[in-house]
Amino acid sequence: MSRLRALLDASPVSQIALALMREATGRTEPLAAIAPARPAALRRGKRVGFWSLAAGAGSSTVAALLAHRSAAGGEAPLLVDLDRWVPALALRAGLTAANVADALLQPGRERDLVSRWSAIPFLPGAPTLHATFDGERLIGLVDSCAAGRAAVLDLGCGADALDPAILSSLDRLCLVAGTRSAQLQAVFCAAPLLGRVPCAVGLVVVGAGEDDAARVAERAGFPLLAAIPFDGYLADDAFAARAPTLRAVDVLLRALA
């Protein structure tokens, strides 16, 4: 922002341009809204999980976006795909690499098998994980691969993804809700499942404005962590997002950091 402001100040039409921008935006500092901001970062050792009862709500996408934004704000967290049925993050990353099951089968070499997705260390999921899911072993794997840094866990969807051992290792479980009727219904159906989990639970609503997300949170009985606005890019496999989406993820980061 300082460079942009300096450029306008040096221009002979700067005062006219700023006056027009103030009138159009209603802001005394119209450049603040477009100024790049450094996001927050998850503190070291933090464990955050993302889950939804119904598929398609966006929990995997939000988990990955959060990990990438946290990396931009400080030390990159470890991102682990623990979806035991349809682990899709490797497809989003465009990676073919060792996965969680491979790491479990090679104790002592876990850190060597961690991949990189841009700036973040990433351990892809395995579609065979449902047959041999062992929460205690997975906690040990995450701890070893994270090496003290924060970890973001995509738990997948469905009631069977709420493993007690995994939940006990989390600082916060983020329940992700979409805005379709079936996805909203799933939030209310999830409430009894989350009533006795051993970690704090918060709600992330995808595809809604703040007011609508606040209404969903109030009726569901969960604290609202963030409202992710509708973003056509989120449905693409290219893994892109608009600026308002990234600002909403920054809000989520501040709530979790």
What DSSP line would sit under 195-254, residue for residue?
TT-SSEEEEEEES--HHHHHHHHHHHT--EEEEEPP-GGGGSTT----HHHHHHHHHHHH
Q: Residue 232 and residue 74: Cα distance in Å, rounded?
A: 28
Q: Are residues 240 and 186 in the same domain?
A: yes
pLDDT digits (tens, 9 = 90+) for 143-185: 999 999 999 999 999 999 999 999 999 999 999 999 999 999 9
Q: Are residues 81 and 157 in the same domain?
A: yes
198 assigned to some structural domain? yes
For position 202, what pLDDT does the model report? 98
Strand partners, 48: 152, 172
Q: Are residues 115 and 216 in the same domain?
A: yes
pLDDT digits (tens, 9 = 90+) for 71-123: 998 889 999 999 999 999 998 888 899 999 999 999 999 999 999 999 999 99
* Residue 11 reports pLDDT greater than 70: no
Q: How many residues does the chain have?
A: 257
pLDDT over 70 percentage in the chain: 87
Strands (DSSP E) contained in 9-144 are 47-52, 78-81, 115-117, 120-123
Q: Are residues 55 and 163 in the same domain?
A: yes
Q: Are residues 24 and 73 in the same domain?
A: no
- Residue ranges making up the domain that contains 15: 2-34
Q: Are residues 151 and 226 in the same domain?
A: yes
Q: 37 by DSSP, 3-state: which?
A: coil
Q: Are residues 21 and 80 in the same domain?
A: no
170 assigned to some structural domain? yes
Q: Are residues 171 and 242 in the same domain?
A: yes
Contact 206, 179 (CB under 8 A): yes
Q: Are residues 108 and 167 in the same domain?
A: yes
For position 7, what pLDDT does the model report? 58
Q: Residue 29 and residue 59: Cα distance in Å, rounded?
A: 35
Contact 180, 186 (CB under 8 A): no
* Residue 60 reports pLDDT greater than 80: yes
Q: Are residues 20 and 65 in the same domain?
A: no
- Residues in CB range of 230: below 8 A, 6 or more apart: 207, 208
160 assigned to some structural domain? yes
Please count the structural domains in the chain: 2
Q: What is the CATH number of the domain that holds 225?
A: 3.40.50.300
206 assigned to some structural domain? yes
53 assigned to some structural domain? yes
42 assigned to some structural domain? no
Work out the end-to-end distance of the chain between its first and last CA atoms, rounded to an integer number of angstroms: 25
pLDDT digits (tens, 9 = 90+) for 110-136: 999 999 999 999 999 999 998 989 999
236: confidence class by pLDDT, cuts 50, 70, 90: confident
For position 257, what pLDDT does the model report? 81
For position 18, what pLDDT does the model report? 64
For position 150, what pLDDT does the model report? 97
Q: Are residues 11 and 129 in the same domain?
A: no
For position 234, what pLDDT does the model report? 79
39 assigned to some structural domain? no
Q: Are residues 109 and 234 in the same domain?
A: yes
